Amino acid sequence: MTLLKDAKPYPVRFETDNTALLLIDMQRDFLEPGGFGEMLGNDVSLLRGTIEPCRALLLAARATNMSVLHTREGHRPDLSDAPLSKIGRGNPPKRIGELGPMGRILIRGQPGHDIVPELAPLLAEPVIDKPGKGAFYQTDLHLILSNRGIRTLIVCGVTTEVCVHTTVREGNDRGFECIVPADCVGSYFPEFQRVGLEMIAAQGGIFGWISNSTEILAALSRAAEHPGYKNHRRSIP
Ligand code: TIU
């Protein structure tokens, strides 16, 4: 058991053997120019500061043998899983499925759909392809977490107020404790970043806790020194 004593709204404990690091949509489509994020009118450079803190947590989670899962937002090439309400929204220069500099926008198998190289998943780390904002919606994430006995999620990724928030809300409703490291989540809107984080921890932690990568890294390094830290539930092929 390890403690995040500076977490907001109050300290939280977690165990590495029933905690998963969940990296939400750290894809080129959101973090690099020419992808879905930029087509929506956003400055993607605002998100890139999340990559290094996410990478530090990813390496620490791997070193602690903690569960790691990645998600990707995207659609089938025939767009049959993309609702018209999503494809038709707004007036972007290119819509979902149209050809951009990183291939077809937000389509599985295209270069833009890949996770950024700094955070490339290992074979043993499930990658959850999701058609919506929430990582639990129309995916097998819940099944995988249940099979692994996971109770706590450390949720990182982009964007704070969209896919991270939706996933934290979904996770909280399903009984998972959610911890969000503030520097590992990013928004195209600085104000939404601030308020999005405040919303999670408000009202006594209505959806979860807010922490940061430094505090979680220290906790993971303490956990790694503890002889009982290994995750026996997990078998790595
Ligand atoms: N537009 C925006 O802020 N986000 C998304 O469309 N998807 C995710 O947050 N991944």
- pLDDT value for 231: 46
| Token representation of residue 146 | 């249940």
Closest CA relative to residue 189, chosen from 229, 213, 161? 161
The amino acid that residue 106 corresponds to is L
The amino acid that residue 146 corresponds to is S
DSSP one-letter string for 59-114:
HHHHHTT-EEEEEEE-B-TT-TTS-HHHHTSS--SS-TTSEETTEETTBTTSGGGS
User: Considering the entire predicted model, what is its pTM?
Assistant: 0.95
- pLDDT value for 232: 45
Among protein residues, the one with the nearest Cα to ligand 1's atom 10 is 163
Judged by DSSP in three states, 62 sits in helix
- pLDDT value for 237: 45
Strand partners, 127: 70
Q: What is the pLDDT of residues 109-135, one digit of tens each?
A: 999 999 999 999 999 999 999 999 999
| Token representation of residue 136 | 């639990």
Among protein residues, the one with the nearest Cα to ligand 1's atom 8 is 163
**CB under 6 Å to ligand 1: residues?**
25, 30, 40, 73, 133, 158-159, 162-163, 188
| Token representation of residue 205 | 């932690």
Phi and psi torsions of 9, nearest 5°: -85, -5
The total number of residues shown for the chain amounts to 237
- Let me know if 48 is exposed, middle or buried by CB neighbors in 10 A (0-12, 13-18, 19+): middle
Q: What is the pLDDT of residues 218-232, one digit of tens each?
A: 999 998 887 554 444
C-alpha of residue 62 to centroid of ligand 1, in Å: 26
For residues 29 and 113, give the distance between their C-alpha atoms in angstroms, rounded to a whole number: 6
- pLDDT value for 236: 46
- pLDDT value for 1: 81
- pLDDT value for 233: 46
pLDDT, averaged in runs of 10, over the chain (237 residues): 95 97 98 96 97 98 96 98 95 96 98 98 98 98 98 98 98 98 98 98 98 97 71 46
Ligand 1 atom with minimal separation from the 157 CA: 10
